[in-house]
Structure formats: structure tokens, C-alpha cells
């Protein structure tokens, strides 16, 4: 019964990851791509983590799993914000037809 739950959860997670990747390829501009990626992948990750949570032997490992999930969500959210702040206004990474002018992207030197 536990294994069935894990299989279902992991499968659902994979479907969301696939949806996110599909969004990355199909959507025209950076904003929508980021939107697809962050929504689908975070949900997918959550489902997989949940699926694995039942397999975990002890509470310590459960805490580690949650820590991994929290870190992944935190990093994904922060990175998506940064990419959006730099790329979107300057129209970087948009497909040619969806190019919109105006780049008030604030000058920021990466390390």
C-alpha cells in the first residue's frame, strides 16, 4: 500500500516536471517560461518529496528530506526572481516576434 502511494505520487510529480519542460519550450517570452518552470517544477518536486517521505526509515531522514525540499524551493524562487529582474524588461531570451522595446533593466554587474 505504501509503495503504491509512492509510485502514484512520483508519477504525478514527473508529469508536472514534463509539463514544466513543455512550457519552457513552447512559451514565447521569458516571463511565461519562468512562470511555467517555477510553478510546475516546484509542485512536481513537492509531490516526489511527499512520495519519498513515506519510504524514509526514521524521523532524522524525514527532516533531511524536508530540508532538501525547502532549500530547493528557496533557491528556485530566488533565481527565478533574479532572472526575471534582469532578462524580462530588457527582452532578453524572448522569441523575436514577442520582442517588446524599453529596457530600464537596472545595471547590475554579476560577480
Q: Which residues sit at the interface with another protein, rule CB under 8 A?
A: 67, 71, 74, 77-78, 81-82, 85, 106-111
| Closer by beta carbon to another protein, 7 or else 78 | 78
Euclidean distance between CA atoms 44 and 20, whole angstroms: 9
Give me the least distance between CB of 32 and another protein, in Å please.
20
Give me the least distance between CB of 85 and another protein, in Å please.
8
Euclidean distance between CA atoms 45 and 89, whole angstroms: 29
Q: What dihedral do alpha carbons 36, 25, 105, 101 form, nearest 10°?
A: -120
| Closer by beta carbon to another protein, 15 or else 72 | 72
| Closer by beta carbon to another protein, 15 or else 76 | 76
Euclidean distance between CA atoms 45 and 42, whole angstroms: 5
As given in the structure block, the three cell numbers for residue 64 are 533531511
Give me the least distance between CB of 75 and another protein, in Å please.
8
Amino acid at each position: 500500500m505504501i509503495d503504491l502511494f509512492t509510485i502514484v505520487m512520483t508519477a504525478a510529480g514527473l508529469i508536472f516536471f514534463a509539463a514544466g519542460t513543455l512550457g519552457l519550450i513552447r512559451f514565447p517570452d521569458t516571463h511565461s517560461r519562468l512562470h511555467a518552470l517555477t510553478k510546475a517544477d516546484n509542485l512536481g518536486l513537492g509531490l516526489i518529496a511527499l512520495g519519498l517521505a513515506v519510504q524514509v526509515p526514521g524521523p532524522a531522514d524525514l527532516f533531511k528530506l524536508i530540508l532538501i525540499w525547502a532549500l530547493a524551493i528557496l533557491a528556485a524562487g530566488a533565481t527565478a526572481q533574479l532572472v526575471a529582474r534582469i532578462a524580462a524588461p530588457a527582452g532578453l531570451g524572448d522569441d523575436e516576434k514577442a520582442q517588446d522595446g524599453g529596457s530600464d533593466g537596472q545595471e547590475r554587474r554579476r560577480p
